[in-house]
Structure 1
Amino acid sequence: MMIKKIKKWNKKYAINVAKNEGIKMQSKHWNIIYFARNFYLKFNMSPPIRILLIAINKKSQKKINSFSLIKLFPKNPSMQISKIAGIPKPNKCL
């Protein structure tokens, strides 16, 4: 199985991708993007939304759910998070 290499990524890259997606990055967005990137770097796979929500809610006092993600990433949370984070989309991403 061939593993896709992570794209050359930096904050400017993420802001440009987010802008193309119609998203103005705020701290809530960055928390999710950094989590997704770190997860990918550690496990060599993009985090499924369910795992992402569980892990973020363990660390944060302000709980989020799938509806919160849709508000932050309205077109398709899995796809938009992956694009902005510069990582491959999750395997079970629609």
Structure 2
Amino acid sequence: MFLFCGRRSDRFKLLYWDGDGWLQSTSLEGARTTGIFLGIIRTAKANQLDPGKYLTFLFERLPNLEVLTADALDQCLPWAEEVQQLCRATYTFDKQ
């Protein structure tokens, strides 16, 4: 299960897997949000990052950027050196 708030801190959403392995979504917006969220997690895993550490890094770093530039965003990508140092997984992932 994952708990996140999207852009509104007063509304939390819970994502869960049902018995067949399908992620439940009740709206098109929810499906898009879920796709983005899971894409970030898969990209983190593909770059040998701990998804929880990487999400924490993004949630702390992005809102505090003074100016949103391409260079600032590049430093938040999973293959950036600082991200690799701070968020590296200490375990291996099963191949999917």
Q: Normalising by structure 2, what TM-score?
A: 0.31
Structure with the larger helix share: 1
Q: Normalising by structure 1, what TM-score?
A: 0.31
Point out the structure with max Rg over C-alpha: 2
Structure with the larger strand share: 2
Higher relative contact order (CA 8 A, sep 6+): 1
